[in-house]
Structure 1
Amino acid sequence: MRLLTLTLLAAWPLAGFAAEQVVDPETGLVTWQIETAGIQVQLTQISPDQTRAFYQARGFSPDAAERYARECVFMTVVRNIGELPIQHNLANWRYVPAGQPPRAIRSKVAWEHLWKRQGVAESARIAFTWAQFPATQTFSPGDWNQGMTTYNVPRGGPFDLRFVWRAGGKIHSGKLEQVRCANEDS
């Protein structure tokens, strides 16, 4: 499979930030990626159909799977590409829909409460929890992890993702700009 790569340069708060956008020509789904100060962060669109199929195959009812698919879902990957351990706490990350104040990413705990209220079976809830991006993690050099994150934005609507991590006793931050939710027909 050949991927089309577009490099986007933006006015970042610190010099040296450059984001890359890759479009899968078969699906039209987009990945945004940035590398800075020892961290690589990727967001890859997951289509609503992919989301529905994934969760229904893990025991979610069509209604519960649809509830999750209404969110803007991304596969999130974090890699430690530096020489120091890094720590992240997803509670410190914020997304900023166009023209709106920053918002926290919905936690696994908040989703768990919703799934319990909707009567989602425990086995399906466990599968859900394992598929989500970890709330906190320490990455040694070379370590990486992935999982789903969700953003409450309209289909195709842009948002910026502000991510935060700690390395070498200092707090660092970065930003992916103009990320877009996958459309229904992706």
Structure 2
Amino acid sequence: MKQSNFTQQTHFIGVLLPEDLTLTLEDCRRYMNEAYGCKSGHGTPIHVTLVPPFKLQEEYSTEDLVCAIKKDVLPERLGFSAHIENFSAFGDRTIFGNVIANDKWTKLRDKTVKAILNACPGCTKKDQRIFQPHATVANRDIPEGVIIEALQVMNELNLVEDFPVDNITIFERKGNRWVESVSIGI
């Protein structure tokens, strides 16, 4: 049942990370694959999710999403410098590059969700949890009991870096992969 819902998701919205960070985090994905057999996430570009995957109803288009972001988010001039500091995990289900949360991330997420809901009512809903920006390395298929060891290995990289939040990117599902559809500079 969960799998069929997963395949119905057509879009999500996020922030692509710069190439140097992307390469480092892709190396970590490779490590998780080689050391523990993790394959989840390999079909998705490295990003920070603003709006989780949703099904865009047939009466709407990707262009509707683009127009909504340009109209309701871009005028706010929400670009900023963000900070990533090593790796962390959500319980035993997700390992991620630890992007430090702040009010700027929350405002960007909230404005983006509101713009999408105004343009395409009912396609998604605002997550009520506190927003924790993160760059996923592995999820869903992490073997039991390996999180602590994997985090120790990755944190030896001492990944501490500032990076620009300079885009809002719409991703679309193409087969079993997520691809960058439109990237809008902010």
TM above 0.5? no
TM-score, scaled relative to structure 2: 0.29
Q: More helix per residue: 1 or 2?
A: 2
TM-score, normalised by the number of residues in structure 1 = 0.29
